[in-house]
């Protein structure tokens, strides 16, 4: 069984093998953990750059979550070995590493915690994982239940991977005073100048037990013995050897012996995480286990409650009820949660890509607009006086631009009006435009209006003689790095995105009384659209770009990479495509890019390096940007379809982005519908066997756009300067829907129904017709009853 629990607080999976990579994730603003149904985990924390406290068995490169994360026998995990002391039989929970199929199994992914319930014979193991709101640690409850009608003698062995910490120095031992295994290391470094930073790292990993263990083992090699991790030798002895680890790979394993009466239950609690020293671990022990508040509640329980409240703060602005209950569950509970994660953590990096930072905070406009506002101002403070935006936004004074942010991309300016525009629609806070902000290379402060004017003019200036935008080593598509590295290649998509940005900014200028400036940028959009149609239209769809050697690509004569989705959707957004071109685009996309799992980013996928396009062509066909159902691009296209009035097309593709509700579809994708992944495998027409598989990456710019597809698109509840515009775009097979919309402090309870005898959509507030469909003069704290009548034939 796969499905939501009755109260929609959890998604439940009842087999460890049907979706072996099914995962859930938890986070706070200092750490993140993604854990799968079988007990494997990927975790990181910030110090201040991303670091690990639970490592693999080999010296690892600096990497964390991977697309389609491969799991292996010794992958870091959180397991409980269980031994019957009378028969010697052993199983493990939640499934790995013994892999004995349980008699009953539940994996429950919740908004605030992740749980397992595993029964083998008459013994039940319940495991739950939660996090504190602020501290870096995993909080575990492990309960043992005897379901038999006889006494049972068993041992349980909570096992937490520490792994290969450091080639310089690693060790571990049980500290009786702390009631904790403490594993120590020193982060490797070469330059003596790095020591000043390294010495302050949290290079210890601890497993702190509330209850004193019967025994323990800290040497992974000694624990596994000749049996290995799937049948560890130490488990088959009467007790663990109480060993330590001396420049050996450490592990955290405890043994608890239980003599359980029929029906007896026993719960243990543990804290697992990094620390700088034993003093910090002692402080953690007192805070979470020993000290009590005035009501007798310890820090562990208080932290669970506080974390629940923290996650609840990420509530979205819509609560829906439609004919699709699975969609309702996702939009009401899981989608805003994922959007909140992106906006509140900045993806747990100190230098998020500028495009990511802006789009993630566009999503925060619907949850915590004050945070979005501050983020937009912070980003603009790192703009150059020329108007150019950096490739990444530094979040603290010691942060540096790393990895992809050292490669020049040319799209970052376009996101400013688009993302701030969404903030303005949601909040009506036009005062942000008058805020004074400095530049990175000039501390003289100018208004946000001036900052974005310069960004738009930078886009206008960074063009070739035809009027097409240069791409350098990439635009929104990071790995399209060889189209324009010589300084001549151009991006068709970026030219369209710039045109759309000009339109958005012109509208904002008009709304804020800057009519002349608005006219300037609207004229630039018109010029851009002329250029787009002159150089990029290929007869049935638009090209993706033109290389340094003046080769147009993404066109009908290309055998691979013949058609890209982004130019098609953004040509609709910017108005370059007229009605005739729109019809041809829709037909081409449906025939060449649509799959049962959504819209592919390009097709056919590249199967070999194309040196004038770049490393995107080296990615495996159907993965990531090389022809996957890349959900960020899919969301752009769906948003464009809603803007173009293609309501049924838009909904059909919108629904495909979410696994299910058909069970076979969920199994095919291998993912529970608790988040939208970065991509599903594409190359559907080339490699159908693997098409549809989820990447399981929950870091994705998709989320803010997917949410806008519901607010602005499907339900047509879009903010204006004066109020809330209501113009639903329900699919033709829906007769009704209802939405609770929180907007600028007011609550609108909206009922949407199709009715015969009307020709246009009618909006009524408290039974009074609103002529233009814009509900004005909304008062914070007031509830409004809204009825929307939709023509049957619309």
Active-site positions read 478
What lies within 8 Å, CB to CB, of 553 at 6+ separation is 483, 543, 544, 545, 546, 547, 561, 612, 613
Q: How far apart are CA 150 and CA 162, in angstroms?
A: 37
Q: Which of 148, 117, 107 has its CA nearest to residue 19?
A: 107
Other beta carbons within 10 angstroms of residue 785's beta carbon come to 12
Q: How far apart are CA 108 and CA 92, in angstroms?
A: 18
Task: Tell whether the torsion through CA atoms of 30, 218, 142 and 235 is positive or negative.
Answer: positive
Q: Quick one: tokens of 70?
A: 């491969």
Nearest CA to 255 out of 205, 204, 206, 209 is that of 209
Structure tokens at 111: 């908004």
Count CB neighbours of 607 within 10 A: 16
Which residue's structure tokens are 């497993």? 207
CB 122 within 8 A of CB 102: no
C-alpha of 487 from chain center: 33
Query: Per the structure block, which two tokens stand in for 673?
Result: 């519908």
Dist. CA 492–CA 489, nearest whole Å: 10
SS3 assignment, position 762: strand
Residues 6 or more apart from 191 whose CB is under 8 A from it?
none
Nearest to 765 by CA among 789, 786, 747: 786
**433: DSSP letter:** G
Q: How far apart are CA 300 and CA 285, in angstroms?
A: 10
Candidates 186, 195, 187, 206; CA nearest to 278 is 206
Supply φ then ψ for residue 395, to 5 degrees: -100, -15
Q: How far apart are CA 35 and CA 153, in angstroms?
A: 30
DSSP 664-682: HHHHHHT--TTS--SEE--
Q: Cβ of 581: how many Cβ atoms within 10 Å?
A: 19
């Amino acid at each position: 069984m796969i499905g939501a629990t009755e109260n929609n607080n959890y998604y439940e999976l009842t087999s460890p093998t049907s979706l072996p990579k099914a995962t859930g994730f938890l986070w706070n603003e200092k750490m993140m953990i993604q854990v799968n149904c079988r007990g494997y985990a990927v975790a990181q924390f910030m110090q201040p750059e991303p670091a690990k406290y639970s490592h693999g068995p080999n010296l690892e490169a600096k990497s964390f979550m991977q697309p389609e994360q491969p799991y292996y026998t010794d992958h870091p995990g959180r397991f409980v070995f269980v031994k019957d002391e009378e028969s010697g039989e052993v199983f493990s929970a939640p499934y790995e590493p013994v892999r004995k199929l349980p008699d009953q199994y539940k994996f429950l992914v919740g908004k605030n915690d992740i749980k397992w319930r595993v029964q083998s014979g008459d013994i039940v193991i319940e495991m739950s994982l939660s996090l504190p709101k602020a501290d870096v640690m995993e909080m575990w409850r492990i309960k043992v239940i005897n379901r038999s009608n006889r006494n049972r003698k068993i041992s349980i062995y909570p096992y937490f991977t520490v792994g290969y910490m450091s080639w310089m120095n690693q060790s571990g031992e049980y500290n009786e005073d702390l009631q904790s295994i403490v594993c120590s290391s020193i982060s490797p470094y070469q330059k003596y100048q790095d020591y000043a930073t390294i010495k302050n790292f949290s290079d210890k990993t601890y497993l702190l037990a509330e209850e004193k263990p019967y025994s323990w083992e800290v040497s992974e090699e000694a624990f596994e013995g000749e049996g290995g991790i799937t049948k560890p030798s130490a488990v088959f002895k009467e007790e663990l050897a109480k060993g330590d680890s001396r420049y050996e790979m450490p592990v955290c394993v405890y043994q608890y012996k239980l003599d359980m009466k029929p029906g007896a239950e026993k719960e243990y609690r543990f804290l697992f995480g990094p620390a700088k020293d034993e003093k910090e671990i002692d402080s953690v022990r007192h805070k979470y286990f020993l000290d009590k508040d005035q009501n007798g509640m310890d820090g562990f329980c208080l932290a669970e409650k506080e974390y629940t409240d923290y996650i609840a703060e990420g509530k979205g602005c819509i609560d829906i009820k439609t004919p699709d209950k699975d969609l309702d569950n996702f939009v009401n509970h899981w989608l805003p949660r994922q959007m909140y994660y992106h906006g509140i953590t900045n993806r747990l990096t100190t230098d998020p890509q500028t495009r990511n930072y802006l789009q993630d905070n566009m999503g925060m406009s619907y949850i915590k607009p004050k945070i979005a506002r501050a983020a937009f101002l912070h980003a603009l403070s790192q703009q150059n006086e020329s108007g150019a935006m950096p490739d990444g936004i530094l979040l603290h004074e010691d942060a540096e631009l790393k990895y992809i942010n050292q490669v020049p991309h040319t799209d970052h300016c376009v996101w400013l009006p688009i993302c701030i525009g969404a903030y303005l629609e949601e909040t009506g806070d036009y005062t942000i435009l008058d805020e004074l902000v400095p530049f990175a290379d000039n501390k003289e402060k100018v208004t946000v209006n001036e900052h974005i004017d310069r960004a738009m003019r930078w886009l206008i200036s960074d063009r070739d003689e035809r009027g097409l935008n240069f791409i350098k080593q990439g635009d929104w598509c990071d790995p399209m790095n060889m189209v324009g590295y010589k300084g001549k290649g151009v991006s068709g998509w970026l030219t369209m995105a710039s045109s759309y940005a000009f339109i958005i900014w012109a509208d904002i200028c008009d709304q804020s009384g800057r009519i002349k400036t608005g006219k300037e940028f609207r004229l630039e959009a018109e010029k851009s659209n002329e250029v787009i149609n002159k150089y990029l239209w290929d007869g049935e769809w638009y090209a993706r770009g033109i290389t340094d050697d003046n080769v147009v690509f993404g066109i009908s004569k290309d055998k691979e990479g013949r058609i890209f989705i982004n130019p098609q959707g953004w040509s609709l957004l910017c108005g370059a495509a007229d009605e005739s071109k729109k019809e041809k685009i829709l037909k081409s996309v449906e025939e060449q890019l649509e799959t049962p799992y959504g819209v592919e980013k390009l097709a056919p996928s590249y199967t070999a390096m194309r040196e004038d396009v770049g490393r995107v062509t080296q990615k495996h066909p159907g993965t990531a940007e090389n022809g996957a159902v890349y959900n960020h691009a899919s969301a752009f296209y769906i948003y464009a379809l809603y803007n173009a009035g293609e309501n049924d097309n838009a909904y059909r593709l919108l629904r495909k982005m979410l696994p299910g509700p058909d069970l076979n579809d969920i199994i095919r994708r291998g993912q529970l519908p608790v988040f939208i992944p970065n991509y599903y495998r594409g190359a559907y027409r080339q490699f159908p066997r693997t098409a549809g598989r989820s990447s399981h990456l929950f870091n994705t710019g998709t989320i803010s756009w997917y949410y806008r597809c519901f607010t602005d698109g499907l339900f047509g509840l879009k903010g204006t300067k004066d109020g809330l515009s209501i113009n639903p775009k329900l699919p033709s097979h829906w007769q009704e829907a209802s939405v609770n919309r929180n907007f600028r402090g007011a609550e609108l309870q909206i009922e949407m129904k199709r009715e015969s005898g009307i020709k246009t959509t009618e909006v009524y507030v408290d039974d009074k017709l609103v002529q233009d469909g814009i509900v004005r003069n909304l008062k914070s704290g007031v509830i409004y009853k809204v009825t929307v009548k939709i023509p049957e034939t619309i």
